[in-house]
C-alpha cells in the first residue's frame, strides 16, 4: 500500500491515524486541514481566500483545494507514496484526484473510512476546541460540518465502495486500539490489489 486516502467525519481521528499510519508505512502524510491552517496563519493568498470558509465550517471551494492538492502531490516526497487526509470531499474532487494521479501514472491503492457517531464526534470536537482554542470548533460549526460531511462526502465513499477500494474501520475507542484496527485493515487488504 503506497497511495491511500483516509476519510471520516470531523473529529473521527483522521489526523492522528494518518500520522501513525504514514509513519508505519513510510509514506508522506498529506493533510489538507494542516495546509489550510498553515496558510491562514501565514496570511498567504490561499489562506486569506480559505479563512472565511474554514471559520464558518464550510468546504473551501474546489478550485482552491484542487490547486493545492495538485501542487502537493507533485512534490518529491509524495511520488513514492502518500496518505491523504481531508481530500477528496466531493465527487468532483474524486474526479480531480483521478486526473492528478493519472498525470503521474498512478492510482489509489486503498481508501480507509473511519466511522463514528455524530454525538460522540460533537463531544470530541468541543473538547478539542476547549483544549486547543480552535475558532472553527463551536457546536454550531461542528454540526454544520457534520451535515456537510453527510450531504457531500458520503457520495465519495459510495464512489470508492463501487470501485472496491473502500475499507471501513471503527473509529471509536482508545487511539492505540483504533491504530491497531487501521493497520490490520491495510495489512488484510494489501493482497487484494
Q: Is residue 191 part of a domain?
A: no
Residue 7: inside a domain: yes
The pLDDT of residue 1 is 59
- Number of domains the chain is built from: 1
Give the pLDDT confidence score for residue 190 in this predicted structure.
63
Please check whether residue 24 lies inside any domain of the structure: yes
Is 105 inside a domain boundary?
yes
CB 24 within 8 A of CB 183: yes
Any domain includes 91: yes
134 annotated active-site: yes
- Verify whether residue 14 is a known catalytic residue: yes
pLDDT of residue 193: 47
- In the chain, which stretches have pLDDT less than 70? 1, 135-136, 190-193
Q: What is the 3-state secondary structure (H, E, C) of 39-100?
A: HHHCCCHHHHHHHHHHHHCCCCCHHHHHHHHHHHHCCHHHHCCEEEECCCCCHHHHHHHHHH
pLDDT at res. 36: 80
113 three-state secondary structure: strand
193 located within any domain? no
The CATH number that applies at residue 52 is: 3.40.50.300
145 is catalytic: yes
- What per-residue confidence (pLDDT) applies to 57? 72
In a domain? residue 192: no
Active site residue 43: no
Is residue 78 within 8 A of residue 29, CB to CB? The reply is: no
Known binding positions for ATP = 11-16, 128, 173
**Binding residue positions for AMP:** 32, 37, 58-60, 86-89, 93, 134, 145
Domain that holds residue 9: 3-186
How does pLDDT run across 151-191, given as a tens digit for each residue?
888 899 999 999 999 999 999 889 999 999 999 998 877 65
Exactly one of 14, 20, 72, 124 is catalytic; name it: 14
pLDDT at residue 56 in the model: 78
Residue with cell 490547486: 67
Name which of 18, 56, 51, 52 is nearest 37 in CA terms.
51
Q: What per-residue confidence (pLDDT) applies to 81?
A: 92
Give binding residues as ranges: 11-16, 32, 37, 58-60, 86-89, 93, 128, 134, 145, 173
pLDDT at 136: 64
Give the Cα separation of 67 and 73 in Å (integer).
Answer: 10
184 classed as catalytic: no
Let me know: does 116 contact 9? Beta carbons within 8 Å: yes
Residue 17 lies in a domain: yes
Amino acid at each position: 500500500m503506497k497511495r491511500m486516502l483516509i476519510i471520516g467525519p470531523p473529529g473521527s481521528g483522521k489526523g492522528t491515524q494518518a500520522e501513525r499510519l504514514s509513519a508505519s508505512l513510510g509514506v508522506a502524510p498529506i493533510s489538507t486541514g494542516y495546509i489550510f491552517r498553515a496558510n491562514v496563519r501565514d496570511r498567504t493568498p490561499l489562506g486569506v481566500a480559505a479563512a472565511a470558509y474554514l471559520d464558518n465550517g464550510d468546504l473551501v471551494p474546489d478550485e482552491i483545494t484542487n490547486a493545492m492538492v495538485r501542487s502537493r502531490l507533485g512534490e518529491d516526497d509524495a511520488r513514492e507514496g502518500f496518505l491523504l487526509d481531508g481530500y477528496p470531499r466531493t465527487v468532483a474532487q474524486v474526479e480531480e484526484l483521478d486526473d492528478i494521479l493519472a498525470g503521474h501514472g498512478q492510482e489509489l491503492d486503498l481508501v480507509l473510512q473511519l466511522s463514528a457517531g455524530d454525538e460522540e464526534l460533537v463531544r470530541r470536537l468541543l473538547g478539542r476546541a476547549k483544549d486547543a482554542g480552535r475558532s472553527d470548533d463551536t457546536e454550531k460549526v461542528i454540526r454544520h460540518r457534520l451535515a456537510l460531511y453527510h450531504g457531500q462526502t458520503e457520495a465519495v465513499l459510495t464512489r470508492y465502495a463501487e470501485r472496491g477500494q473502500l475499507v471501513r474501520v471503527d473509529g471509536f475507542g482508545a487511539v492505540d486500539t483504533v491504530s491497531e484496527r487501521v493497520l490490520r485493515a491495510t495489512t488484510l487488504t494489501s493482497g487484494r490489489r
